[in-house]
Amino acid sequence: MGVDRMPATLDEAHEVLLRAQPTRDADPQEWVAFHRHSAAVYGAMAKVDLRHQHEATQCAGIEIRRAREIEDRLNPGGDDA
């Protein structure tokens, strides 16, 4: 799932991540890894593509939330045991 080179713009990041997206029926852990990776890419983009810094930061937050939602569905009781 790694990106060969870091995208230079937010649009490139969207394109690269869209191509790296798992199949709809992929294992949920694969989706969690994808969303966490996407968050890291968007976080890096926020530092590089300053014109789109706020949008990239929002995208990173959305990806983290998506990963956590999947994790919560997989482990609804949490790790409080």
Q: What is the 3-state secondary structure (H, E, C) of the chain?
A: CCCCCCCCCHHHHHHHHHHHCCCCCCCHHHHHHHHHHHHHHHHHHHHHCHHHHHHHHHHHHHHHHHHHHHHHHHCCCCCCC
Span 49-75, mean pLDDT?
Answer: 96
Please tell me which residue, 7 or 32, carries the higher pLDDT value: 32
Q: How confident is the model at residue 69 (pLDDT cuts 50, 70, 90)?
A: very high
Q: How confident is the model at residue 81 (pLDDT cuts 50, 70, 90)?
A: very low
Cβ atoms of 66 and 35 closer than 8 Å: yes
Q: What is the pTM of this model?
A: 0.86
Cβ atoms of 63 and 69 closer than 8 Å: no
- Res 38: pLDDT: 97
Of all residues in the chain, what percent carry a pLDDT higher than 90?
A: 80
